[in-house]
């Protein structure tokens, strides 16, 4: 009687190596798909955040019959220059939206006096209603991160920022006097007729500094006018989109928005980064209100200054940012930006969210901006379809196929 062996031959080394190689190839093929799916999910989440802010703006308008102000708030009647006693008329449009995005507890803290600092120490006298100046890191609400104001694709996190922000309001396609509006400073009796004349020419966007615009002011139609857009927050990498370059002053930058590019300040080998010797607003170690490294894009959701929560439709999305004078409380060239491949989300006046590509028609990027002394008041935007989307009452039309 024959005996049969129950043992089976094992895998050879060559067979194991072949299987491992096949698995490695499959993983290599699947990883990009997984990464792409993750970014698609983050992009959808970002779009939902933008939609929520658009709905909040509509609900706010229904409640108060106007949009919130860019650089609004209060300035107090006494101790006006004291950053602990008033918010210096610098609050962003996002602060009054808090009750409309399910942030009522945070709004209650801000809208009432608070007698405690961020570190838990008592504050005497208490912080005022509507808070102190938005650069005060010792005021707890300003240092609070709000998830609805953050894009999940943005890698920026933590200090030296206070509460980071990725959604800014649209200031239009001009810049002149948009940093102060009708008030030259925050001291009393400084309403300026000259400022009003300038703003009437250059304040072409949905939001104008220290003014309360209404939907009825949008002559071009809400579906044709941008209300909110994405911005990246800075990560300390000298990114041209998030660390603004020190500008040359009003005239050169106002007359040539591509000043930084023409000066050769951008690294030709890494076009999303400044050259190492380019002076940035974040370079100096100390400044009048603390660490200058905190003066970067998207670093204070509560601050209405353009560098933190504003953008213009002059240069196309993801272009370079430049501050007029290297400070954080002035106008500049501030395009929207994002980490999403190829473009940014914007919220139109009717609440619709659109994805605008970096390749959108942006006209002549070296054209003069619109301002009174240039004698070009009321002209069609020199910045193509992109500029037309940013203006509320220029009576320009464009087709959706241009986007």
Residue-level pLDDT at 81? 67
Assigned token pair, 298? 């998207």
Residue-level pLDDT at 255? 94
Q: State how many domains the chain has.
A: 1
Residue-level pLDDT at 285? 43
Tokens 């240039």, residue? 374
Within a domain: 104: no
CA distances from 349 to 67, 260, 286 (A): 11, 31, 39
> Which residues of 187-266 form beta strands (DSSP E)?
226-230, 245-246
Assigned token pair, 133? 């100046």
Element (H, E) at 311: strand 310-311
Digit-by-digit pLDDT tens for the chain (403 residues) are 455 555 556 667 777 777 788 887 776 766 665 566 677 788 888 999 999 999 999 999 999 999 999 998 887 665 666 788 888 888 999 999 999 999 999 999 999 998 888 888 888 888 899 999 899 888 999 999 999 999 998 888 888 888 999 999 999 999 998 888 887 665 555 667 778 888 899 999 999 998 999 999 999 999 999 999 999 999 888 999 999 999 898 899 999 999 999 999 999 999 999 999 888 887 754 333 445 567 889 999 999 999 999 999 999 999 999 998 877 788 999 999 999 999 999 999 999 999 999 999 999 999 999 998 888 888 999 999 999 999 998 888 777 666 6
The answer to whether the predicted template modeling score (pTM) of the entire model surpasses 0.95 is no
Q: Are 199 and 210 in contact (CB under 8 A)?
A: no
Closest listed residue to residue 335, CA positions, set 346, 348, 351: 346
Within a domain: 75: no
CA 222 vs. chain centroid, Å, equals: 20
CA distances from 223 to 64, 349, 389 (A): 21, 6, 9
Within a domain: 24: no
Q: Are 60 and 228 in contact (CB under 8 A)?
A: no
Q: What is the pairing mode between strands 122-127 and 114-116?
A: antiparallel
Within a domain: 377: yes
Residue-level pLDDT at 33? 59
> Exposed e or buried b for every residue in 70-95, given b needs 16+ CB within 10 A?
bbbbbbbeeeeeebbbbbbbbbbbbb
Within a domain: 274: yes
Residue-level pLDDT at 287? 38
Within a domain: 325: yes
Residue-level pLDDT at 190? 67
Phi, psi of 333 (to 5 degrees): -95, 105
Within a domain: 146: no
Within a domain: 175: yes
Residue-level pLDDT at 173? 95
Q: What is the pairing mode between strands 310-311 and 167-170?
A: parallel
**Collapsed DSSP state (helix, strand, coil) of residue 116:** strand
**Collapsed DSSP state (helix, strand, coil) of residue 355:** strand
**Alpha carbon distance 310, 341 (integer Å):** 21
Tokens 């670093």, residue? 299
The boundaries of the domain holding residue 242 are 36-70+153-390
Residue 72 is given by DSSP the state B
């Amino acid at each position: 009687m024959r005996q049969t062996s129950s043992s089976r031959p094992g895998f050879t080394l060559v067979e194991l190596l072949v299987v491992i190689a096949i698995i490695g190839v499959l993983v290599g093929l699947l990883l990009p798909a997984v990464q792409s799916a993750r970014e698609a999910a983050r992009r959808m989440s970002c779009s939902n955040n933008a939609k929520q802010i658009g709905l909040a703006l509509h609900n706010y308008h229904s409640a108060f019959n106007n949009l919130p102000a860019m650089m609004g708030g209060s300035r107090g009647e006494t101790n006006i220059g004291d950053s602990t006693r008033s918010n210096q008329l610098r609050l962003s449009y996002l602060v009054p939206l808090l009750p409309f995005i399910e942030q009522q507890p945070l709004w209650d803290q801000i809208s009432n006096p608070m007698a405690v600092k961020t570190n838990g120490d008592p504050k005497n006298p208490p912080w005022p209603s509507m808070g102190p100046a938005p650069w005060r890191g010792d005021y707890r609400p300003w240092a609070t991160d709000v998830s609805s104001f953050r894009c999940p694709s943005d890698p920026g996190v933590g200090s030296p920022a206070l509460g980071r922000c990725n959604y800014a309001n649209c200031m239009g396609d001009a810049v002149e006097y948009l940093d102060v509006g009708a008030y030259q400073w925050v001291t009393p009796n400084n309403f300026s007729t000259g400022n009003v004349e300038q703003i009437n020419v250059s304040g072409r966007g949905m939001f104008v500094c220290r003014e309360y615009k209404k939907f009825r002011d949008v002559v071009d139609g809400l579906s044709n006018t941008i209300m909110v857009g994405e911005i990246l927050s800075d990560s300390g990498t000298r990114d041209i989109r998030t660390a603004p370059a020190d500008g040359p002053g009003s005239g050169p930058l106002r007359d040539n928005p591509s000043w930084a590019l023409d000066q050769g300040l951008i690294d030709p080998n890494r076009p999303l980064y400044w050259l190492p010797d380019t002076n940035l607003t974040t370079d100096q170690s100390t400044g009048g209100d603390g660490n200058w490294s905190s003066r970067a894009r998207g670093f204070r959701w509560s601050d209405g200054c353009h560098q933190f929560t504003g953008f213009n439709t002059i240069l196309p999305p993801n272009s370079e940012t430049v501050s007029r004078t290297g400070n954080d409380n002035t106008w500049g060239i501030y395009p929207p930006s994002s980490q999403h491949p190829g473009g940014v989300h914007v919220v139109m006046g009717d609440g619709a969210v659109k994805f605008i590509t970096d390749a959108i028609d942006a006209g002549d990027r070296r054209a003069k901006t619109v301002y009174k002394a240039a004698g070009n008041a009321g002209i069609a935007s020199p910045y193509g379809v992109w500029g037309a989307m940013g203006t509320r009452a220029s009576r320009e039309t464009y087709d959706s196929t241009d986007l």
